[in-house]
Amino acid sequence: MEQFSLLLIFWYGILHAFAPDHLTAIADFSIGKNRYKTVLITTLFAFGHGISLLVFAKILQNFDISPDILAYGDIISASVILGMGIYLLFLVATKRINIKKHQHNGKEHIHIFFGKEHDHKKTDVASAFTISVLMGIGGVRGMLVTLGAIENSAVDISMVFAFTFGVSIIFLGFGAVILYINKNILNSQRNITKIFTGVGTISVAVGLNMLLG
């Protein structure tokens, strides 16, 4: 029975990862980033989900809080996605997403930077992890309902690992797609404008659909 529960929660993690808000959020934070940041952000999204799963599941079990309260997690997710979409469209409209090319040992390197000047701030990685934890709240409710964990059993580390592993497979696979776009398509100012406009528009559409749906 325990192995079946782990398999079930692993499969739920895979299905949960395909939610449009998750993939949109990963795209928002990792588009235009280098390989290291893209892999780091997608990995942190998976672990952030796992952490929020464990924390909020324990809160529900120990304090007899209705899982319906976690529906507010969906509102948080939708607000984040909508806000990110509006922000990306603002950056495009104000020409704050730029490309810089230079040579290193005879090899051309391309850097995409946000704002008027090129810098190396790391706040985007921390922000991505924070958002992943907040967005994970919505997944907690579905997982607990799936397992019947509130009445019948407790969520333990093995369940969290199974969920995180399932989520990670999809997130990292999607991250590979973003890496391809970053490396092979975002190589001109024109392409940058098109891609970021598209990502921003999708984010706004997904966020509004979640809030109004």
Rounded percentage of the chain residues whose pLDDT exceeds 90:
19
The lowest-confidence range among 41-50, 111-120, 126-135 is 111-120
Residue 74 pLDDT exceeds 80: no
C-alpha angle 198-201-202 in degrees, rounded to nearest 5:
85
Which of 131-140, 144-153, 175-184 is least confident?
A: 144-153
First-to-last C-alpha distance (Å) of the chain: 36
Confidence (pLDDT) at 54? 73
Cut 0.85: pTM above it? no
- Is residue 31 within 8 A of residue 181, CB to CB? The reply is yes
Predicted local confidence at residue 142, as pLDDT: 63
Residue 32 has pLDDT above 50, yes or no: yes
Q: Which is more confidently placed, 121 or 129?
A: 129
Identify the burial level of 95 via C-beta atoms within 10 angstroms of its C-beta, where 0-12 means exposed, 13-18 middle and 19 or more buried. exposed
* pLDDT given for residue 7 in this prediction: 85
- Residue 191 has what pLDDT? 92
pLDDT at residue 188 tops 60 = yes
Distance in angstroms (rounded) separating the CA atoms of residues 95 and 172? 30
The mean of the pLDDT values for the chain is 79
State the DSSP string of 81-93: HHHHHHHHHHHHH
- Among 107-111, 130-134, 172-176, where is mean pLDDT lowest? 107-111
Helix (H, G, I), strand (E, B) or coil at 48: helix
Please report which confidence band the pLDDT of residue 181 belongs to, taking 50, 70 and 90 as the band edges: very high
Phi, psi of 197 (to 5 degrees): -65, -40
By percentage, how much of the chain surpasses pLDDT 70?
74
**Greater pLDDT, 102 or 193:** 193
- The CA–CA distances, whole Å, from 185 to 75, 80, 112 equal 33, 26, 12
Q: Is it the case that residue 76 has pLDDT exceeding 90?
A: no
